[in-house]
């Protein structure tokens, strides 16, 4: 087990190094000279050269990459070109809305998709199964923002049940916070739930054909007991794997969802940064999101042992 | 010579009866077996038709600005209404089909070809495998839309760049698939026999490996096509995709973002077209998977 964890951590470090390299190269390849931007219109070429030198822009690629990684390891992600604030601070201010949105979405998606997938598997090839799977294909064919607008049109503009847009911090009360998160979570969660439901069905269907399920049925156990204690438990590993992989989908979707619902989170920060070509922020956001994704999947890999005692490393 | 020319001459009655057989017997049988796939294929053909004949289907120039007619709701004159500049949304949506299909199909073809080439090499050459797969792992841990956004931020907005950006984000997934299939096939007795009898590697790849991975690869390509169309729309929607002067479904929706409370139809029509096309491609992919890989279809 320990050697597996060490090996897995080693692989994670390599992956993060690749991510850092890709992200740094992106900034390196950026058209335009940051020194010229900072120097302004009236600067002479000597001024620009001096600024380039003071920023270390005249050094070779690998030296700059090394310096950048060194700063990164000390928590320095650079400063925004647009408002000169540290990127880490800008991202830090925006963590709460994004975290609220993604956690709510995770809960909504898992609570709906796993039961639906299990029901579809239990009633495989029935009308109910076809309906659930049909909706699941529909779920990942509708782009997040389209679904978001449809939900707003129906629940906010027609029925007036829920707020159209915006976000309330949790410090202003749980209820307003929750009300503002319902539609965004539904919009963002649908694609994700569709994916999980599909895998849950496939995985449970596989388990249901096993001998021990027949034994349980022969013992006269209730169908729900068999499903929860025997089938779902043994089907858990592929399901949690797809939940982990789907985090990537969730992060991409959050960028769009925050734009539609005017939620001031990291996704919104990203879109604003793109429109202003504020590369240090784009870099920082990609790094943070990728690191989150890698870490969650690392934890999921390590958690297999708890879900399935047959797995030994 | 005479024999040859008679062979080349088209036997029209036979062709007609073949088409009749297809329409009356084979197509209904296919529909009965794979209903969703047939519906998907039909919808996709319709969209391809719209894309090709957009100039004839559009009622006016999609870029023609008419400030007097701005924000008109759908009517007999303007089927899908007009936008904030008075442009005809119906004509814009027709032209938008071209962008989505071009991006979807190009990305599917490019990422499959590139992913296939890299995947075959990594599957057969050990030392390349170690290096390339680490790079692919790194690329895959960057959420694909973010990677595409970052690449788009580097270059100027154009359809070509959108295609390149989405392709780069999709290639690692194809490489993973091809590599895993190749690793399994490499141990097969017939591949080992080919190697033992001195068959050149390239010939082994073409004769023994490629036919066996073609089916799952084709299915994967349809899913990539669907996801690329969604990614293009998202990129355009957040302002990092197709340039605003080209009417794409994502652009039409992006322009209407601030107006959707008063003119919801601006978002509605392009979104129906986008969702229907993506759904059609996904259905087609599911149908192909069922038809080509019965083992997998039972499980998924």
Task: Tell me which chain A residues have a C-beta less than 8 angstroms from the C-beta of B234.
Answer: 143-145, 252, 256
Separation in Å, CA A176 to CA A180, A218, B29 = 6, 51, 55
Return the pLDDT at A175: 87
Which of A137, A143, A251 is opposite residue B282, by nearest beta carbon? A137
Task: Tell me which chain B residues have a C-beta less than 8 angstroms from the C-beta of A285.
Answer: 146
- Can you say whether residue B199 is alpha, beta or left, with left for phi > 0 and alpha for psi between -120 and 50 degrees? beta
Chain-chain contact of B141 with A290 (C-beta, under 8 angstroms): yes
pLDDT digits (tens, 9 = 90+) for B223-266: 999 999 999 998 888 888 888 888 888 888 888 777 777 777 78
| Res. B299 pLDDT band, cuts 50 70 90 | very low
- Judge if ipTM > 0.85: no
pLDDT digits (tens, 9 = 90+) for B141-194: 888 888 888 888 777 788 888 999 999 999 999 998 999 888 888 888 888 888
Give the residue-averaged pLDDT of A103-131.
Answer: 90
**Does residue B111 surpass a pLDDT of 90?**
yes
**Does residue B13 surpass a pLDDT of 60?**
yes
pLDDT digits (tens, 9 = 90+) for B272-292: 899 999 999 988 888 888 787
pLDDT digits (tens, 9 = 90+) for A62-91: 888 888 888 888 888 888 877 878 888 899
Return the pLDDT at B140: 87
**Does residue B103 surpass a pLDDT of 90?**
yes
pTM: 0.84
Cα–Cα distance measured from residue A289 to residue B141, given in angstroms and rounded to the nearest whole number = 9
- Number of inter-chain CB pairs under 8 A, A vs B: 139
Which of A137, A157, A289 is opposite residue B279, by nearest beta carbon? A137
Best residue of A11, A141, A166, A248 to probe chain B, by most B CBs closer than 10 Å: A141
Which of A22, A138, A279 is opposite residue B279, by nearest beta carbon? A138
Return the pLDDT at A189: 92
Give the residue-averaged pLDDT of B14-39.
Answer: 82
pLDDT digits (tens, 9 = 90+) for A248-271: 888 888 988 998 888 999 988 988
CB B123 within 8 A of CB B212: no
**Does residue B4 surpass a pLDDT of 60?**
no
Best residue of B135, B142, B148 to probe chain A, by most A CBs closer than 10 Å: B142
Return the pLDDT at B300: 45
| Res. A97 pLDDT band, cuts 50 70 90 | very high
Chain-chain contact of A286 with B282 (C-beta, under 8 angstroms): no
Chain-chain contact of A293 with B141 (C-beta, under 8 angstroms): yes
Nearest to residue A22, comparing CAs of A305, A304, A283?
A283
Average pLDDT, chain B: 83
Return the pLDDT at B83: 72
Average pLDDT, chain A: 85
- Rounded to the nearest 5 percent, the helix, strand and coil shares of chain A are 80, 0, 20
């Amino acid at each position: 087990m320990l050697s597996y964890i060490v090996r897995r951590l080693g692989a994670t470090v390599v992956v993060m190094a690749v991510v850092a390299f890709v992200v740094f190269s992106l900034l390196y390849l950026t058209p335009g000279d940051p020194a010229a931007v900072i120097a302004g219109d009236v600067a002479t070429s000597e001024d620009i050269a001096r600024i380039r030198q003071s920023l270390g822009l005249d050094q070779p690629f690998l030296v700059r990459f090394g310096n950048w990684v060194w700063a990164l390891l000390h928590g320095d992600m650079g400063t925004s070109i647009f408002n000169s604030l540290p990127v880490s601070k800008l991202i830090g201010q925006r963590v709460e809305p994004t975290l609220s949105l993604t956690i709510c979405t995770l809960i909504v998606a898992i609570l709906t998709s796993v039961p639906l997938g299990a029901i579809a598997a239990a009633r495989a090839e029935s009308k109910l199964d076809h309906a659930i799977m049909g909706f699941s294909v529909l779920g990942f064919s509708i782009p997040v923002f389209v679904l978001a607008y449809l939900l707003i049109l129906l629940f906010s503009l027609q029925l007036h049940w829920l707020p159209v847009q915006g976000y309330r911090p949790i410090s202003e009360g749980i209820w307003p916070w929750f009300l503002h998160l319902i539609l965004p979570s539904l919009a963002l969660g649908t694609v994700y739930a569709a994916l999980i439901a599909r895998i849950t069905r496939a995985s449970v269907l596989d388990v249901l054909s096993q001998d021990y399920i027949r034994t349980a049925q022969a013992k006269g156990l209730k169908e729900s007991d068999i499903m929860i204690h025997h089938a779902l438990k043994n089907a858990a590993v592929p399901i949690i794997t797809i939940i982990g992989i789907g985090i990537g989908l969730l992060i991409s979707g959050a960028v769009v969802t925050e734009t539609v619902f005017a939620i001031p989170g990291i996704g919104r920060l990203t879109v604003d940064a793109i429109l202003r070509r504020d590369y240090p922020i784009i870099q920082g956001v990609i790094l943070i999101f990728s690191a989150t994704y890698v870490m969650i999947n690392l934890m999921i890999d390590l958690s297999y042992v708890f879900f399935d005692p047959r797995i030994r490393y | 010579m005479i024999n040859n020319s008679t062979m080349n001459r088209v036997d029209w009655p036979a062709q007609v009866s073949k088409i009749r057989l297809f329409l009356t017997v084979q197509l209904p049988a296919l529909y009965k077996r794979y209903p969703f796939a047939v519906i998907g294929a039909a919808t996709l053909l319709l969209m391809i038709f719209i894309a090709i004949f957009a100039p004839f289907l559009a009622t006016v120039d999609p870029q023609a600005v008419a400030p007097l007619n701005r924000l008109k709701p759908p009517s007999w004159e303007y089927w899908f209404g007009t936008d904030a500049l008075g442009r005809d949304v119906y004509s814009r949506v027709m032209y938008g089909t071209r962008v989505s299909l071009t991006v979807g199909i190009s990305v599917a073809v490019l990422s499959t070809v590139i992913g296939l080439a890299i995947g075959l090499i990594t599957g057969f050459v050990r030392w390349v495998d170690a290096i390339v797969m680490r790079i692919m792992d790194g690329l895959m841990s960057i959420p694909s839309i973010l990677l595409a956004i970052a690449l788009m931020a580097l270059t100027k907005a154009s359809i070509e760049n959108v295609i390149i950006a989405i392709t780069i984000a999709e290639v690692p997934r194809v490489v993973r698939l091809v590599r895993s299939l190749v690793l399994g096939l490499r141990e097969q007795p017939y591949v080992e026999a080919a190697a033992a009898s001195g068959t050149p590697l390239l010939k082994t790849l073409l004769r023994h490996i490629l036919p066996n991975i073609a089916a799952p690869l084709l299915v994967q390509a349809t899913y990539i096509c669907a996801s690329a169309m969604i990614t293009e729309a998202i990129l355009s929607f957040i302002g990092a995709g197709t340039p605003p002067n080209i009417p794409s479904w994502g652009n039409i929706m992006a322009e209407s973002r601030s107006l959707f409370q008063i003119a919801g139809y601006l978002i509605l029509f392009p979104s129906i077209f986008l969702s229907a096309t993506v759904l059609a491609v996904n259905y087609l992919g599911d149908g192909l998977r069922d038809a080509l890989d019965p083992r997998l279809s039972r499980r998924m």
